[in-house]
């Protein structure tokens, strides 16, 4: 077998379909695959190692697909996941859906029942293409062993060209035999900046803008275009806000950075974009959850002209009405617009200094508010604070306010850290506190919003970037869904740090019960043993934190163990039951009960 980075002789070669499959992955620079071994692909698996490919066995296939997601988002290359046909493959659906909404080039390889057994209801038989139809950009089904390399190559090409998951479905008997095939070389698109006409129209709008604002989205990260976005923003003197959960799309130390929009985002960002007369959505689909009212503010500028730039033309104008749509690469479009504006006299040039002062003032006000926002202020949270003053943690300490914890974690966060966050109440509040200096540093389950995301994703990220600190944030509910992957980190020397917010509840949904259902709590309470203790039983380190002054030192100690000793550590933080704003205030309303028998519960 050829090692990764080498080439076979040119032209068709005789080989087995397994060899064609593996050689095509080698041509696409695959070095790591996540999954669980199975008989369905064992012939190919036998030659992974000679080809320079490491199969990283996981505890559960959902974790494997999340790891592939994290790996791809850090490296900018494919993440690859594989499993046994039937149940092994069906376990991946949730994680592939998360990768789809994160626009991550994951290739899921799905060996399936052999062709002679299909339709007979045999062992582990399943129709595997419909499972992923909604969550993949392309599905390649190998319908003849001679086409193994063709379909494999196409899945890898399409994952990159369409920036999303693809599925390679292979009947298990098609790995065997002898074929003559030429291994296809990768085909990568040069997207370009977009059409000249639309770029000119955008430049004209910006030349006459009085208060332009740039939304730096995930497309900026994917295009490696942060520096180009900076130059574009500096030419305009425009405040830059991060699109929802893309806090790494613009450096937080830059004077024009204003923080993220969307759920639990930056008030400074929201107040500034509310003043915009022209908004540039650079590499953002303007997803609805990232532009909803927040902190009591309906901040989206109703009369602003919108210039939307996206590599996928189907996203242009889909969510928000736009004035100019540019189908192009975010990096190249930023360069093209900056060049067009370089020699122009812009209306906003006259107020650049005033705008800079406004940006600084709003940011300072938001930072001051965060410093003073030590606990949630609604009546339920105040009740919980008083209640928990009366009780000690299992280790004799005190329950900590989540916002104070998040601020201390922010202060202690190492430079160049990669952070993944799970879904949940405290993790969502963390959106206000997570700041980054470089792209490919922040990972969240995006619009799919599934629990159990953070830990496996950060393991995948660490695999791709072993020299960077890797930290996962998770609440106790989400953590319980994925904590078994600590075994993967320990078994395969992929050290990570996990911060678990232990508040003994499903916080996000419980907040809905507070606000909409008169505190009628159903199924929201979680009683759990020590997560630090469970981690220790799996061979990792564990630290329990129940004093505020321990938060920063605990994170620093855990990261030091990760980077210097190669150890995985779980930092378990005992938090009060106070709750931030609910996720879906837009989707709920006070209930109206029409049946008399319910009158006692209204």
Dump pLDDT digits (tens) for 269-314: 999 999 999 999 999 999 988 888 899 899 999 999 999 999 999 9
| SS3 label, residue 43 | helix
* Predicted local distance difference test score (pLDDT) of residue 380: 84
Q: What is the pLDDT of residue 596?
A: 59
Q: What is the pLDDT of residue 236?
A: 98
pLDDT tens digits for 312-360? Answer: 999 999 999 999 999 999 999 999 999 999 989 999 999 999 999 999 9
**Which residue is listed with tokens 């009212």?**
293
- What is residue 424's predicted lDDT score, i.e. its pLDDT? 86
pLDDT digits 0-9 by tens, 44-60: 999 999 999 999 999 99
What does residue 55 show for φ and ψ, rounded to 5 degrees?
-90, 120
Q: What is the pLDDT of residue 335?
A: 98
Residue 2 has pLDDT above 80, yes or no: no
DSSP state of 3: P
Give the containing element (helix H, strand E) for 537.
Answer: helix 531-537
Interval 217-255: pLDDT, tens: 999 999 999 999 999 999 999 999 999 999 999 999 999
Rounded average pLDDT over 97-116: 96
pLDDT at 543: 98
Is the model's pLDDT at 478 over the cut of 90? yes
Q: Which of 477, 386, 384 is nearest to 427 (CA)?
A: 477
* Percent of the chain clearing pLDDT 70 (strictly above): 97
Is the pLDDT at 214 greater than 60, yes or no?
A: yes
Q: Where are the beta strands (DSSP E) in 217-350?
A: 240-242, 257-260, 278-282, 305-310, 324-327
In this prediction, residue 5 carries a pLDDT of 47
Given pLDDT bands bounded at 50, 70 and 90, which one contains residue 401? very high
Q: What's the token pair of residue 111?
A: 């060996």
Contacts of 581 (CB under 8 A, 6+ apart): 264, 294, 295, 511
Mean pLDDT of the chain: 94
Band (597; pLDDT cuts 50, 70, 90): low
**Residues 68/99, Cβ–Cβ less than 8 Å:** yes
What's the Cα-to-Cα distance from 295 to each of 188, 299, 544, rounded to whole Å?
43, 10, 32
Per residue in 549-561, pLDDT (tens digit) is 999 999 999 999 9
DSSP symbols for 144-201: SGGGHHHHHHHHHHHHHHTTS-EEEEEEGGGGSS-EEE-PPPP------S--HHHHHH
Contact residues for 374 (Cβ-Cβ < 8 A; gap 6+) = 401, 403, 404
Nearest to 132 by CA among 172, 159, 160: 159
Query: Among 426-435, 470-479, 556-565, 573-582, whose mean pLDDT is lowest?
Result: 573-582
């Amino acid at each position: 077998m050829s090692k990764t980075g080498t080439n076979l002789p040119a032209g068709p070669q005789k080989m087995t379909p397994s060899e064609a499959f593996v050689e095509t992955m080698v041509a696409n620079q695959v070095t790591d695959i996540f999954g669980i071994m199975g008989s369905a692909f064992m012939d190919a698996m036998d030659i992974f190692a000679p080809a320079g490919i490491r199969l990283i066995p996981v505890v559960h296939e959902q974790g494997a697909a999340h790891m592939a997601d994290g790996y791809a988002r850090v490296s900018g290359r494919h993440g690859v996941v594989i499993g046994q046909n039937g149940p092994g493959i069906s376990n991946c659906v949730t994680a592939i859906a998360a990768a789809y909404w994160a626009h991550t080039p994951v290739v899921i390889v799905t060996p399936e029942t052999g062709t002679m057994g299909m339709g007979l209801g045999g062992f582990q038989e399943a129709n595997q293409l419909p499972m992923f139809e909604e969550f993949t950009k392309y599905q390649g089904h190998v319908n003849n062993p001679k086409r193994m390399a063709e379909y494999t190559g196409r899945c890898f090409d399409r994952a990159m060209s369409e920036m999303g998951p693809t599925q390679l479905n292979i009947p298990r008997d098609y790995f065997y035999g002898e074929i003559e095939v030429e291994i296809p070389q990768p085909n990568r698109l040069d997207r370009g900046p977009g059409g000249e006409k639309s770029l000119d129209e955008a430049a004209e709008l910006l030349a006459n803008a009085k208060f332009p604002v740039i939304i730096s989205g995930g497309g900026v990260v994917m295009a490696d275009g942060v520096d180009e976005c900076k130059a574009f923003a500096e030419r305009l003197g425009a405040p830059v806000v991060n699109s929802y959960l893309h806090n790494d799309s613009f450096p937080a130390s830059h004077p024009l950075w204003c923080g993220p929009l969307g759920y639990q985002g930056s008030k400074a960002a929201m107040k500034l974009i509310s003043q915009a007369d022209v908004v540039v959505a650079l590499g953002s689909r303007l997803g609805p959850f990232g532009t909803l009212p927040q902190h009591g503010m309906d901040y989206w500028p109703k009369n602003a002209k919108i210039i939307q730039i996206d590599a996928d033309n189907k996203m242009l104008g889909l969510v928000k009405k736009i004035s100019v749509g540019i189908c192009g690469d975010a990096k190249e479009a930023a360069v093209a617009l900056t060049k067009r504006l370089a020699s122009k006299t812009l209306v906003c040039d006259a107020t650049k200094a005033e705008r800079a002062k406004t940006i600084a003032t709003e940011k300072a006000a938001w930072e001051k508010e965060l410093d003073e926002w030590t606990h949630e202020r609604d009546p339920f949270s105040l009740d919980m604070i008083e209640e928990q003053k009366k009780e000690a943690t299992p280790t004799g300490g005190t329950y900590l306010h989540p916002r104070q914890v998040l601020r201390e974690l922010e202060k202690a966060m190492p430079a160049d850290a990669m952070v993944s966050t799970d879904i949940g109440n405290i993790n969502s509040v963390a959106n206000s506190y997570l700041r980054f200096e470089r792209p490919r540093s922040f990972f969240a389950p995006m619009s799919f919003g599934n629990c159990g995301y953070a830990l496996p994703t950060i393991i995948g990220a660490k695999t791709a970037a072993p020299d960077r600190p890797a930290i996962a944030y998770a609440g106790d509910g989400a953590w319980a869904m994925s904590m078994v992957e600590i075994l993967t980190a320990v078994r395969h020397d992929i050290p990570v740090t996990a911060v678990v917010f232990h508040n003994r509840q499903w916080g996000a949904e419980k907040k809905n019960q507070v606000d909409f259902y008169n505190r009628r709590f159903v199924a929201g309470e979680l009683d759990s043993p020590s997560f630090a203790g469970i981690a220790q039983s799996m061979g990792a380190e564990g630290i329990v934190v129940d004093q505020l002054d321990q938060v920063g030192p605990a994170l620093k100690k855990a990261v030091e163990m990760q980077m210097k000793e190669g150890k995985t550590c779980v930092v378990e933080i005992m938090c009060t039951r106070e709750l931030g704003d609910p996720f879906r205030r837009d989707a709920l309303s006070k209930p109206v009960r029409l049946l008399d028998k319910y009158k006692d519960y209204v």
